[in-house]
Structures are given as C-alpha cells and as structure tokens.
Amino acid sequence: MVWLPRCGLLALLAVALAGLALLGSPPAPSSSQTAWRRARQAAWAEEPAATASPVAAKAPDGRAPRDPAAWGSDHVDGEVPEFVEAGECLFCHRNDVGPTWSQTDRHSQTIRDKAVDSPPIEALAKDPALKPFADEATLVMGDRRQTRFLKRGERYGHLDLLSVGAGPSRGTRYRLNHTENPHWDAKTFGAQCAGCHTTGVDPETMSFSTVPIDCFACHGDSPLEHANDAKLMLLAKERHDPPEVVTSICASCHVRFGKSKTTERPYPTNFVPGDNLFRDFEVDWSRADDPHLNPADAHVLENVRDVALYGGQQTCLSCHEVHKRTTLAHRKLPETRYCRHCHEPGKPLTEHKSYEVHSERCQY
C-alpha cells in the first residue's frame, strides 16, 4: 500500500501546480475563479508599496499604488492566435449582437469600405489635385471628429494611409486638413495605428489578421464549446471577470498614452484578452492629472489607473454597455470626484460639459 500516500502527494502537487498555473495564465472561467482571485489578492497584499508603480504617487484619498504588472501573464513572445472571426460568431449571435454590431457599433465601423457619396470622400474628390487619391482610396477610418482615407497596401495585412484628413465643418460638410504635399504613406498605419484600429497584429511584420476590430479584441480566443457552457467565454455575464481583466481589455486600445516596452510602439504587443496588459504596456499615468486633458481621454485614463494601481472596482462596464451602446447605467452611480470630468461640481447632474477631443496619437 505504498502507492496510496504517494498518490495523495501527487494529487496535492497537482493542486498546487494548478494553482500556480492559474496565477500565471488568464483567469480560469469556473469556480476556480474565486480561488484565482483570492490568490492574486493575497499576492498583492504582500506587495510592498514602495516597489509598486513607476509613478509612486498616492491616490487623492491616500491609497498607495501597487504594481500593475504583478498578476497574470501575457503573449508578448507568442504567436497571434488563430481566432474565430466575427462572421462565424455572428452566425449564432445574429439576433442578440448582430443588429447593433453591423449598424451602429463604432468598433465594427472604425475601418470600413468607402461610400462614394459620403461627405468626406466628396470633399476629397471635389479638389482637382486630390481627386486621384479619392479614386484610389478604398477604405475610410474615423468618426465624427476626423476621417482618414486608406487603401490596401502592397503586402497582405497592411494599409497605406493618406496624409490628408477630413474633419466636419458646417452642417454635413467636411473640410480637408493637411492638404499640402498629399501622399500615400505605407509605414505609419502599421507602426502607429494598426494595434488599436484592427485585430491580431503580428508584432514582427505589423500586419493585421482582420480589419476592423473583431470580437477577438474583447472576447479573446475563447472556445466554441462556450455554446454549451457560456462561462467559458470571456466577458460572459455569468463569469464576473475581475475588474483588472476587464480593464486590461478596454485599456489595450483606449489608453492613448502608453507604449509597449518590447516594441516601443504606441499599441500593445500581441495582447490577448485575459492577459495583464500592464506587464508590457507602459502608461504615462501622470497624464490622468493633467487638467487640460479632454474629458474623453481623462475619464478613461483615470478609471484605468484607479483599477490598475489602486484596486478600484468600478470599470468601463459599470457605465458602458458595449453592444447596446448606452451609458444609461452611469446615471445610477453615487456622485464622486470622478464625475467632474463631465459634470461641473456643484451644478446639477442634468447638465454636462460639452468638450472637444484632440489626440496626438490619432493625429486629430
């Protein structure tokens, strides 16, 4: 009966290893979730505050920062997974997510086929010197503040970016900007934009897997077996993914003040949802205290910092419902200092600030 105790030991070892594996990998979508969380919180509790963040600033309420890179794993040295693409997901999810995804979701629209009659393309085509570029452009990117023009590059998974942009002027009219020396630029999009406006960028070639933003960018490389057990799918309601995991996902594109330590590019290196973004993505947190930063970027950066450095529990999803494209939930939250980004302190919440957004990162 020698094998019995040994078997027990092995079992113990297996449990311990499983625990370690959980710490080092994306959170397991099951009851081990809570174990993962506990272990992770314990690890943080032991973290001395002094070794914590690159900016060892205390939160306004005196909380000491912790090391945002302390938990989880990343895919910086790995390959881009061969993920299931939106078309396949929507085959089953055409009724719940399909309608908003294809029509109103900005994520699915950030890069799209050009419509010849769209005001930005019309503005470009009206200028005789720029007409050839309007004909060559096949795609556009952007929204109500700035539109950019693109065409497929020579290599697969690359796009050329036109140096000229278009922003709204009066009514539905668009005004062109940067019209001097118009040219197609084959380098900028891959090196500076692709990581946040397309999906699955290969760190070596800077080519993307799909254009524009695919389900993978938020739901990760989740298995199709989730159809029988929704908990296997990242961001499924039943999972209650920890705030750090959720924040890593949204921050992987919405923090426009960071760079990858590995590539020095302004977007993450092979981030796979479930990863800890902050192991490789270095953020200039001080920008969150910049009183001149526009409310769009400021409310994002402060929220990300609050979760990543101070263990805050409120995430983007406390206010945003991505597929319904609403922020109605935010109205029910208690008023805090944070609300000042968009509501004037002392004034009723029925009023909110109007603001302009400019971004060095996005060239508008």
Tell which positions 243-282 bind ligand HEC, by CB under 6 A.
Answer: 249-254, 256, 266-267
Q: Which of residues 95-114 bind ligand HEC (CB under 6 A)?
A: 96-97, 101, 106-107, 110
Crossing angle of helices 295-310 and 243-254, in 10° steps, is: 140
Which amino acid, 45?
A
Of 93, 151, 158, 259, the one binding ligand HEC (CB under 6 A) is 93
Of 145, 151, 158, 259, the one binding ligand HEC (CB under 6 A) is 145
What is the gyration radius of the CA atoms in the chain, in angstroms? 23
Q: Mark 30-69 with x for binding to ligand HEC (rule: CB under 6 A) and - for no binding.
A: ----------------------------------------
Closest CB 19 distance from ligand HEC, rounded Å: 27
Q: Mark 2-21 with x for binding to ligand HEC (rule: CB under 6 A) and - for no binding.
A: --------------------
Of 226, 259, 282, 289, the one binding ligand HEC (CB under 6 A) is 226
Stretch that binds ligand HEC, among 13-21, 50-58, 171-179, 322-330 (CB under 6 A): 322-330
Residues in a beta bridge with 326 = 321
Q: Mark 175-204 with x for binding to ligand HEC (rule: CB under 6 A) and - for no binding.
A: -------------x---xx-xxx-------
Element (H, E) at 141: strand 139-142
Q: Among 93, 315, 277, 88, which Cα is nearest to 196's?
A: 277
Q: Among 250, 220, 254, 224, which Cα is nearest to 234's?
A: 220
- 142 part of the interface to ligand HEC, by CB under 6 A: yes
Of 130, 166, 213, 309, the one binding ligand HEC (CB under 6 A) is 213
Stretch that binds ligand HEC, among 8-16, 22-30, 203-211, 336-344 (CB under 6 A): 336-344
Q: Among 229, 120, 231, which Cα is nearest to 165's?
A: 120
Angle at 157 between CA 154 and CA 163, to 5 degrees: 65
For tokens 């960028």, the residue is 201
- Where do runs of H (alpha helix) occur along the chain? 3-24, 32-46, 86-92, 98-103, 106-109, 119-126, 131-136, 188, 194-197, 216-219, 243-254, 295-310
Q: Which is nearer to ligand HEC, 51 or 104 (CB)?
A: 104
Stretch that binds ligand HEC, among 54-62, 143-151, 171-179, 280-288 (CB under 6 A): 143-151
Rounded distance, CA 220 to CA 358, Å? 30
